[in-house]
Structure 1
C-alpha cells in the first residue's frame, strides 16, 4: 500500500524556497532541509527527487509567484511613469523591512550558480526575457496613452529598467537610505520624458 503524505506540498515548497533564498543552494544541506521543513529525508526524495530537484521546484515557484504579482501590480496602475516609480519604491521598502537582507532570489541564484550551471543560465535568461517583455508591454501602454513619447526606444528602455531594478535590489541590501535610492529612481524615470 502506498504511503500517505503527511505534509502539505505547497507549504513545504514555500518553506524550502525561503530556506534556499536565505542560505543559497550550496550552503543549504539536506539535513538543513529536513530540520527546517520538518519532514524526513525519504519524503523529500520521494516527493521531489533530491536537493537539486527541490531547489529547482522552489525557484520555479518563486518566479511564478513574482511574475503574477508583477503583472497584477502593473495592470492596476493608471500611470506608467508612476507605476514604475511605485514598483521601484516597493522594492526599496521591501529591502528596508527585510531583517535578513535576502535581496532578490533570482539575483542571488544568478551570482551563486550561473558561472557553473548552463541550465540555470538558460532559466535566468528566460526570466529576463519575460521581465523585459512585461516592462515593454507596460511602456507601450504609456505610448498609446500619450504619456510616453512615441519616438522612445521602448525595447531598450524596458531592458534598462530591468537592469536598474536588479541593481536597485542589490544596492538595497546594503544601503537603507530610501530617499537617496528614490532620487536615483526619479533620475532614471526622466528617460520616459
Structure 2
C-alpha cells in the first residue's frame, strides 16, 4: 500500500503535467479530479485551492528541472558540456517527452495577470532560481577555463535563460532537430567565445 506522502507527490506530479499542458485557466477542477484521482473535498483538504495545487505544481516542475540539470552535469565530461546537454534535452527532447515544449513557468507568466498575483510572483521567483542554478554551473565552467572568468556568471545565466526561452518557442514552429542543435551550438559557442579566442589588441595585431 502506498504511503500518504507518496500519494501526495504522485498527485502533484500528475497535476504538474496537466497544468503544464493546459495552463492554469484552461484546466478545470474536473480535469484535476481525473488527473490526480481525488475528489473535490480531498483536493481542497490537501492543497487548499486550485491555486494552492498550481503553486506546488510549479515548485515540483522547478525541482524536476534542477534535478535534470544536476544529473546532466554529473554525466558529462565537464560542467559546460553538461549544461549544453541539459539545454539540448529541454529543446529537442522536450518535443516528444514533455506535456509541452514550452517552459511551464514561462507559460504561466505569459498567461496570468495581476488577478493571480501570488502565482505570477512565484513563477518569476522560480525562474530566477533556475537562472541562479545556471550561474552556479557557469562558475564551475569558469574554474575549468571553459568560460572567460572576466564575464559575469549572472549575466551569462540571464543570456542563457533568454536563449532557452526563445529556442523552446522556436521549436514549436521548426521540428528540424539538426537545425535546432546547430542553434544551440551557436549559443554555447558564444558563451565560450572569450575563453577560446583571446581578444586581439593593437599590439598583437601588428
Counterpart for residue 130 of structure 1? 129
State how far apart, in whole Å, the 2-side matches of 1:8 and 1:179 are: 40
Deviation at 1:27, TM superposition (A): 0.8
Higher mean alpha-carbon deviation, 91-100 vs 30-39, is at 91-100
Counterpart for residue 186 of structure 1? 185
Aligned residues: 188
Unaligned runs of 5+ in 1: none
Counterpart for residue 155 of structure 2? 156
State how far apart, in whole Å, the 2-side matches of 1:27 and 1:41 are: 17
1:170 aligns with 2:160: no
Counterpart for residue 109 of structure 1? 108
State how far apart, in whole Å, the 2-side matches of 1:95 and 1:51 are: 26
Counterpart for residue 10 of structure 2? 11
Deviation at 1:177, TM superposition (A): 1.0
Give me the CA root mean square deviation: 2.3
State how far apart, in whole Å, the 2-side matches of 1:108 and 1:37 are: 21
Deviation at 1:139, TM superposition (A): 1.5
Residue pair 1:85, 1:189 contacting (<8 A) in 2 also: yes
Counterpart for residue 23 of structure 1? 22
State how far apart, in whole Å, the 1-side matches of 2:174 and 2:142 are: 33
Higher relative contact order (CA 8 A, sep 6+): 1
Residue pair 1:95, 1:101 contacting (<8 A) in 2 also: yes
Higher mean alpha-carbon deviation, 176-185 vs 34-43, is at 34-43
State how far apart, in whole Å, the 2-side matches of 1:184 and 1:59 are: 28
User: Per the alignment, in what secondary structure is the counterpart of residue 8 of structure 1?
Assistant: helix
Residue pair 2:43, 2:49 contacting (<8 A) in 1 also: yes
Counterpart for residue 120 of structure 1? 119
Q: TM-score, normalised to structure 1's length?
A: 0.84
State how far apart, in whole Å, the 1-side matches of 2:185 and 2:32 are: 42
Residue pair 1:71, 1:134 contacting (<8 A) in 2 also: no
Counterpart for residue 77 of structure 1? 76
State how far apart, in whole Å, the 2-side matches of 1:39 and 1:121 are: 26
Q: TM-score, normalised to structure 2's length?
A: 0.80
Deviation at 1:51, TM superposition (A): 1.4
Residue pair 2:131, 2:158 contacting (<8 A) in 1 also: yes
Seen in structure 2, the aligned counterparts of structure 1 residues 149 and 37 have a Cα distance that, compared at 3 Å, is closer
Counterpart for residue 39 of structure 1? 38
